[in-house]
């Protein structure tokens, strides 16, 4: 056997990953695809790469040194299960099967448990960065056993993106931890994109600046604390002119945002865990709202503010929006990390949060300067009760919160939707409140359902006899 690593599934992601692997010193890559023509095409198109062709799964197994390591890059769901079954039938105990597809983490947990029974390691590995990342260096989020990482780690470290000299890969945690963290990455990506979109919309409608002028603003922002891939590409999209009409491309693109579901997964999972990821949820819902075209069409004549809106001081307003964007972004990340913490507790994963931020610094869509500050925050205090409570972020919120409020007020008065800005601000105010009206909700729950409440001044659980004489009784704990 001559190959040390295999790729199964040679569509766009798999073939790029195979080429990335083959380009690294010391790797010989076995390649397999269900439709063999694709294997032949890849090998023919890249004579520079040292590929070993496998026409069958048995050939693939025979071509690999032990412990055998294969990365699956096929369509998530049933196809992944089918390929795992085939690999299990030709692999031996100690071998390693890696799923690099976009699997739901609960599927990964199930698959890991099933494959473990055979003595074979199963590693769910989140791979970010799309096809470009797969080819030139993705951010890699492997789960699975620590033992499998001993073999897999060095291979992944050589193909990962590099940030400040360090490869963007770490052993995230056991079984589904890697795919979980990849899912939250995508959720944060949704929030980040929505926040940038809201910033653009407010600036455009408040100041009348053109998309190209706003592109310049984003370029300037990219020189500061907001520096990120998403800000950078936003400027490029805004500057693009449609060849056919000569108008900004952004004005001819239908304003109905699509989604492939990972943002929704992040929110569904957060609901189950009881973690408020309101920024991410608003971003997912904003896409849903945008796509309900018939409803939007029917609603265009609903009343709104009567006065046309222009801001008095455009420069000051743009700076306020920048601050609102930064503050809301802190909230989105803080909420995303809360979800990671909650899931780690639920699933027994020992996730190093600073490491997660570190491996997101390159090779993925949410790469940003900001992630260095997250890594530092967790290095200083790994047990932060919330990311936003780290001194750096606390400080940043202190410097931005007044501007953030002005922007949310202006948006509401002007009738411009800013769901992620405003819900992030509500979350911030909710978190820092001395008292919340949740006390009243508890009273209501006790009134109609005898759901009981606790008191601020003594231990125990209480119920007011609402339908009787309204005296309070101590509730007996039935558990
Ligand atoms: P696709 O998701 O389009 O899957 C196509 C591949 O799956 C082909 O190799 C196909 O083989 C194979 N396949 C299918 Br479909 N059913 C199969 C079966 N029953 N048995 C064996 N092979 C089967 O490929 P992709 O866009 O390269 O993505 C691969 C994975 O990477 C997906 O899970 C995706 O979600 C994930 N991902 C994609 C991106 C991205 O930017 N595209 C980014 C990150 C992660 P065939 O040639 O014989 O039909």
Distance between CA atoms of 11 and 17, rounded to whole angstroms?
A: 10
CA–centroid distance, residue 273 to ligand 1 (Å): 30
pLDDT per residue, tens digit, the chain (479 aa), is 899 999 999 999 999 999 999 999 999 999 999 999 999 999 999 999 999 999 999 999 999 999 999 999 999 999 999 999 999 999 999 999 999 999 999 999 999 999 999 999 999 999 999 999 999 999 999 999 999 999 999 999 999 999 999 999 999 999 999 999 999 999 999 999 999 999 999 999 999 999 999 999 999 999 999 999 999 999 999 999 999 999 999 999 999 999 999 999 999 999 999 999 999 999 999 999 999 999 999 999 999 998 888 899 999 999 999 999 999 999 999 999 999 999 999 999 999 999 999 999 999 999 999 999 999 999 999 999 999 999 999 999 999 999 999 999 999 999 999 999 999 999 999 999 999 999 999 999 999 999 999 999 999 999 999 999 999 999 976 65
Nearest atom within ligand 1 for CA of residue 10: 9
Distance between CA atoms of 215 and 235, rounded to whole angstroms?
A: 4
Catalytic residue among 50, 112, 147, 189: 189
Mutate to test the pocket of ligand 1, among 54, 57, 75 (most ligand atoms within 8 A of CB): 75
Closest CA relative to residue 147, chosen from 86, 200, 94, 193: 94
Write out the E strands in 211-258. none
CA–centroid distance, residue 103 to ligand 1 (Å): 11
Q: Does ligand 1 lie within 6 Å of residue 130's CB atom? A: yes
Number of residues that this document lists for the chain = 479
Query: For residues 18 and 7, is the Cβ–Cβ distance under 8 A?
Result: yes
- List all residues 6 or more positions away from 116 whose beta carbon is below 8 Å from its beta carbon: 122
Ligand 1: residue whose CA is nearest its atom 21? 34
CA–centroid distance, residue 460 to ligand 1 (Å): 55
Which backbone phi and psi does 290 adopt, to 5 degrees? -60, -30
CB atoms within 10 A of CB 301: 6
Instruction: Note the helical H segments in 46-145.
Output: 57-63, 78-90, 105-116, 130-136
**Catalytic residue flag (residue 189):** yes
Q: Does ligand 1 lie within 6 Å of residue 260's CB atom? A: no
Distance between CA atoms of 8 and 14, rounded to whole angstroms?
A: 7
Please report the ipTM that was assigned to this predicted complex. 0.97
**Catalytic residue flag (residue 350):** no
Can you give the C-alpha Rg of the chain in angstroms? 26
Tokens of 357: 């931020």
Could you give the strand order of the β-sheet that contains 121-128, starting from the edge strand earlier in sequence? 51-53, 29-32, 5-8, 69-72, 96-99, 121-128, 139-142
Query: For residues 168 and 140, is the Cβ–Cβ distance under 8 A?
Result: yes
CA–centroid distance, residue 86 to ligand 1 (Å): 16
Distance between CA atoms of 275 and 423, rounded to whole angstroms?
A: 15
Positive or negative CA dihedral for 166, 167, 173, 176?
positive
Paired residues of 381 in beta bridges: none
Tokens of 67: 């412990």
């Amino acid at each position: 056997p001559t190959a040390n690593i295999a790729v199964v599934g040679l569509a766009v992601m798999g073939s790029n990953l195979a080429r990335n692997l083959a380009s690294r010193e010391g790797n010989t890559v076995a390649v397999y695809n269900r439709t063999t023509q694709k294997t032949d095409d890849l090998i023919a198109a890249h004579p520079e790469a040292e590929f070993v062709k496998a026409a069958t799964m048995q050939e693939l197994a025979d071509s690999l040194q032990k412990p055998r390591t294969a990365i699956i890059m096929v369509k998530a769901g049933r196809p992944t299960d089918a390929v795992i079954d085939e690999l299990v039938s030709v692999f031996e105990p100690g071998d390693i099967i890696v799923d690099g597809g976009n699997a739901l983490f609960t599927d990964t947990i199930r698959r890991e448990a099933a494959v473990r029974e055979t003595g074979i390691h199963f590693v769910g590995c989140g791979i970010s960065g799309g096809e470009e990342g797969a080819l030139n260096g993705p951010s890699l989020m492997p789960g699975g056993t620590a033992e499998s990482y001993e073999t897999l780690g060095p291979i992944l470290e050589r193909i990962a993106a590099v940030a400040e000299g360090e490869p963007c890969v770490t052993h995230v945690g056991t079984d589904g931890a890697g795919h979980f963290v990849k899912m939250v990455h995508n959720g944060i990506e949704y929030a980040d994109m929505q926040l940038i979109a809201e910033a653009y919309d407010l600036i455009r409608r408040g100041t009348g600046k053109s998309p190209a002028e706003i592109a310049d603003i984003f370029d300037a922002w990219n020189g500061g604390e907001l520096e990120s891939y998403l800000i950078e590409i936003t400027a490029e999209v805004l500057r693009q002119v449609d060849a056919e009409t000569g108008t900004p491309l952004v004005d001819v693109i239908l304003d109905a945002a699509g989604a492939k579901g990972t943002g929704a997964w992040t929110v569904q999972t957060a609901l189950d865990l009881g973690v408020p990821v309101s920024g991410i949820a608003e971003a997912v819902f904003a896409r849903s709202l945008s796509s309900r075209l018939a409803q939007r069409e029917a609603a265009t004549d609903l009343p709104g503010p009567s006065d046309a809106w222009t801001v008095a001081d455009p420069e000051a307003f743009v700076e306020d929006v920048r601050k609102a964007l930064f503050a809301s972004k802190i909230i989105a990340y803080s909420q995303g990390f809360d979800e990671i913490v909650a899931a780690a507790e639920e699933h027994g994963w020992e996730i190093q949060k600073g490491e997660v931020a570190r491996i997101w610094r390159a090779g993925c869509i949410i790469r940003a300067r900001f992630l260095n500050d997250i890594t530092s925050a967790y290095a200083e205090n790994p047990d932060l009760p919330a990311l936003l409570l780290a001194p750096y972020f606390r400080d940043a919120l202190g410097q931005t919160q007044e501007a953030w409020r002005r922007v949310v007020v202006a948006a509401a008065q002007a009738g411009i939707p800013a769901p992620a800005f405003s819900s992030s601000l509500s979350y911030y105010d909710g978190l820092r409140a001395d008292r919340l009206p949740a006390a009243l909700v508890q009273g209501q729950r006790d009134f109609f359902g005898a759901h009981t409440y606790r008191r601020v001044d003594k231990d125990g659980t209480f119920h007011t006899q609402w339908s009787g004489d309204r005296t309070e009784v101590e509730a007996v704990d039935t558990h």
